[in-house]
Structure 1
Amino acid sequence: MPAVLSRVLNPVVHLAALVRQAAWAAPDQRVLLLPTLASHNRVRYALAATLGGAVLVLTVTADTQLNQLVPGSLAWALAGLQVLPLLLAATRPLAAWRISAIGLTLTTFAEVGHAPTPFWPWPVSGCIAYTLLLFATAQVYGRDVAVGIDLLTALAVLAPAVPLVALPPVVFAVAAVVVSLVLVLGESIHSRQEAERHLVAAEEQRRAGLARQAVLEERSRIARELHDVVAHHMSMIAIQAEAAPYKEPGLPEQTLRTFTAIRAASTTALTEMRRVIGLLREEDENAERAPQPGIDRIPEMVRAARQAGMQVDLTLAGGPDRPPAVVDVSVYRIVQEALSNAGRHAPGARVEVEVVRTRDAVQVHVADDGRSNGGPAPGGNGGHGLTGMRERAAMLGGTLRAVPREHGGFEVTAELPLDGVPAQRGGESSGDDEDS
């Protein structure tokens, strides 16, 4: 028996809570139903003037109809309670609805003892205002408040008119259905807006996740490239340490032990580094056998881009000294990503690639003029190339700037410091190019 009673009472208690929420418990939050239009002063003033004029007309009309049933001063007060809340509808719809509902209910009681208008005790203009407030409130507050408003309208606004002013039951039923339909329409718009907000939030989370994934993938790639660079130097240390006793016979025993320790330490470091880097490789990814590209391979990359139909101007400036390997590889990768982005997002545009080696840094500049022969290439939807370039610049303590150009197009500018690391002797570098 208690379980049955509970099943019966729970819906009643829930509905009572919804009625309470709509009547006074729900917070009357401040909203703006027309944020885009109201952002311009002229439009805001025009809307305010239009709304004020419409409310004035509706109030006068309601007063005219009510004057036939109640004294003039009371008619003005009741008309104001029913219609004037429309002025609050754009910012405080729930408070406006509560005031209008009170006005309609008081109108019913004020008409007791007077001959009611045929089939309907309320002025048409007051009903129009009330309907608009029903819609606005349901659109802003959603289902729970809409259900409470529906019940309150039926029980506190419409129902008293049946015994007090002889409102026909059929008219009562039709009015209740119309009120419910208006509230359903407003709530459906509210639900759609909520769904759109959730989709936007989910899309932002997805993009943030993709950006984090791009950062991790780029860091993994950088780590593998650094492995190749560091492994080369560690191997040279091990070889030199092992060859030293043969180059200089008769070295003291302590010196020989030092060289042996150096060789053992470098070999151990190489082994541990390969083990750690192996964890960063995908299961189906094979170790790269080709040497890492550098600045000296940028002309080769530019030739490949020209063969693919791109218009690329290349400038390489600097001395014969090659920058440290990690800078060399990063310059190539930044140019590669920037160039590929230019081809993806501005096909047919002219691209300028400039790599300048100074005493303290390597400066990279890749810019396109933005002209396109047919729009972005299929599948070119942005990606996270800029994320990877920024990771490389940050790793070296450098800077990277990627912004639209003033007269169209896009440009990527990077400066990678050399940090006083001795440069490698060798020819100029070339490689593939990249875009932003």
Structure 2
Amino acid sequence: MSEPSRPQWHDRPYRPDPERHDHARLLQGIRAALLPGPHDPHTTMLPSRMWLRTPILLLLLAMTIGFTAGSIAIPIEVDHRSPGISALLGVLQAAPLLLAVTRPLAAWRLSAAGFFIGVLMVRGVGFWPWPVTAFLAHLAILFFVSLACDRETLVGVGAVSIGGLLGPAVLFGMPGWFAAILAGVVLVVLAFGDAVGGRRTAEAIVREQEQLRRQDLARQAVLEERARIARELHDVVAHHMSVIAMQAEAAPYKIPDLPDAARQTFGVVRDAAREALTETRRVVGLLRSDDETVERAPQPGLERLDDLVAAARRSGLAVGVTVVGVPRPLAVGVDLSAFRIVQESLSNAARYAPGSRVQIEVRYGQSSLRVTVVDDGPRSTPEESQGGGHGLVGMHERVAMLDGTLTAGGRPEGGWSVVADVPYGGETE
């Protein structure tokens, strides 16, 4: 069944406010009971499955018709009252029962208004001023109210039902002992409905917690699977990079009379393989440890710019570096992103513009860091592109994540340029 909304009571334990007096809470409850407002529950307390909802609706419709017809016929046949007045009061007292499943407080207000008008019109004629069927319908409405409303509102509803309806009935002739019995019945119905509503809400909370737990377990399983895949990928990459590094190291000893250019190329391959292997181990190595406090190697930043330049020069690029402005401590994300942008730009230059002259400029502005990498085009035929690279996409994503801008493209005079502006922001290292 769809769960009732009990926003102020059963969603959290009740803790009385010591600074708020009981009579203030009672007045607030009476105000909530009598005056429509956002606190009114707007919910259906019927099952969500149609095969259960339909019979209950039909039963409720039959009860409403029966109680309303009885509330009209009894005053006419037994008490010989006016048919017009009896019909008006009967509809007002019993018909709101059909509304109670979706608007319980509104249904109670209508029914209570009919009961109060009935007290004023009868004025002591008969044992009590209302038909039995009307009172039964009112009790059913009270049950729906207690299912859907918070306890403070229930106190107000009970106070109005007893003091505002039974009290005037006693003044106009109803025996006090009988009014006490009716008041007890009203309290029992409200207490029973409140207990049922509290149980339903508690069950809904338990179900929600179970669903959240299942989602957490599923998320944890996904993360564990990703970690496992990352470890396996690390093993594969580390193995092949180690082989590359060892073969590049051993090549000068295996090949006699190796030219100096080839020896230098093998050295570049060896150094690149070792650096890639080191970064792969640093990034993925933590996945092998269950200790969350294990020390982590620092992320690379612009302090390692000289290493990038040296590696690029070994690969055949002529690289120059210019730093404009006063260097300042950078946020980890900004520092790492600037390093990766220079690294990716140099890698692209070595691949697509071999032998080119590359100029790197790092400008420390007032509110942002600008990194510019410009090459003047290839000196020899670049290697054929294998496609599928995501270097520019990665740079754009890094810069966008930091609310910066990046432009990359060909230059009119030839070559390629990458310009990234990244706001400082964040905490420094």
Where 1:268 maps in the other structure, the secondary structure is helix
Residue 112 of structure 2 is aligned to residue 116 of structure 1:
no
Scaled by the length of structure 1, the TM-score of the pair is 0.57
Q: Deviations over 1:195-240 (max 9, x none)?
A: 1221122112111211221121111111110111111211111122
Residue 71 of structure 2 is aligned to residue 59 of structure 1:
yes
Flag the 1:65–1:13 CA change in 2: closer, same or farther, 3 A. Answer: farther
> Which residue does the alignment assign to 2:24?
13
> Which residue does the alignment assign to 2:205?
198
Distance in 2 (alpha carbons) for counterparts of 1:225 and 1:250? 40
Q: Deviations over 1:180-201 (max 9, x none)?
A: 1101111111111111221122
Flag the 1:274–1:87 CA change in 2: closer, same or farther, 3 A. Answer: closer
Which structure has more relative contact order (CA 8 Å, sep 6+)? It is 1
Distance in 2 (alpha carbons) for counterparts of 1:271 and 1:53? 81
Residue 169 of structure 2 is aligned to residue 161 of structure 1:
yes
> Which residue does the alignment assign to 1:186?
193
Distance in 1 (alpha carbons) for counterparts of 2:243 and 2:289? 28
Distance in 1 (alpha carbons) for counterparts of 2:31 and 2:130? 25
* Equivalence map 1:256-335=2 (5 Å): 256-283=263-290
Residue 36 of structure 2 is aligned to residue 25 of structure 1:
yes
2:181 alignment partner AA: V
- 8 Å CA contact 2:64–2:137 kept in 1: the answer is no
Residue 78 of structure 2 is aligned to residue 92 of structure 1:
no
1:38 Cα deviation after fit: 4.8
Choose the corresponding residue for 2:47, options 19, 26, 35: 35
Identical aligned residues as a percent? 40
Flag the 1:130–1:37 CA change in 2: closer, same or farther, 3 A. Answer: farther
> Which residue does the alignment assign to 1:237?
244
2:217 alignment partner AA: L
> Which residue does the alignment assign to 1:228?
235
1:43 Cα deviation after fit: 4.3
Distance in 2 (alpha carbons) for counterparts of 1:41 and 1:276? 56
1:79 alignment partner AA: G
1:136 Cα deviation after fit: 1.1
1:58 alignment partner AA: G
- 8 Å CA contact 1:66–1:79 kept in 2: the answer is no
- 8 Å CA contact 1:131–1:182 kept in 2: the answer is yes
Flag the 1:152–1:194 CA change in 2: closer, same or farther, 3 A. Answer: same
Unmatched 5+ stretches in structure 2: 1-16, 292-429
Superposed CA RMSD? 2.9
Distance in 2 (alpha carbons) for counterparts of 1:41 and 1:250? 91
**Who wins on radius of gyration, i.e. which is larger?**
2
Flag the 1:8–1:221 CA change in 2: closer, same or farther, 3 A. Answer: closer
* Number of residue-to-residue matches in the alignment: 275
1:241 Cα deviation after fit: 0.6
Flag the 1:54–1:197 CA change in 2: closer, same or farther, 3 A. Answer: same
Flag the 1:41–1:198 CA change in 2: closer, same or farther, 3 A. Answer: closer
1:262 Cα deviation after fit: 1.8
Where 2:35 maps in the other structure, the secondary structure is helix
1:126 Cα deviation after fit: 1.2
Q: Deviations over 1:253-310 (max 9, x none)?
A: 23212212322332233233233333112338xxxxxxxxxxxxxxxxxxxxxxxxxx
Q: Deviations over 1:80-138 (max 9, x none)?
A: 221122232233222221111111111111122x5332xx3322111111111100111
Flag the 1:145–1:273 CA change in 2: closer, same or farther, 3 A. Answer: same
Choose the corresponding residue for 1:131, options 139, 143, 150: 139
> Which residue does the alignment assign to 2:294?
none
1:149 Cα deviation after fit: 0.6
Unmatched 5+ stretches in structure 1: 1-5, 285-436
Residue 151 of structure 2 is aligned to residue 143 of structure 1:
yes
2:159 alignment partner AA: L
Where 2:106 maps in the other structure, the secondary structure is helix
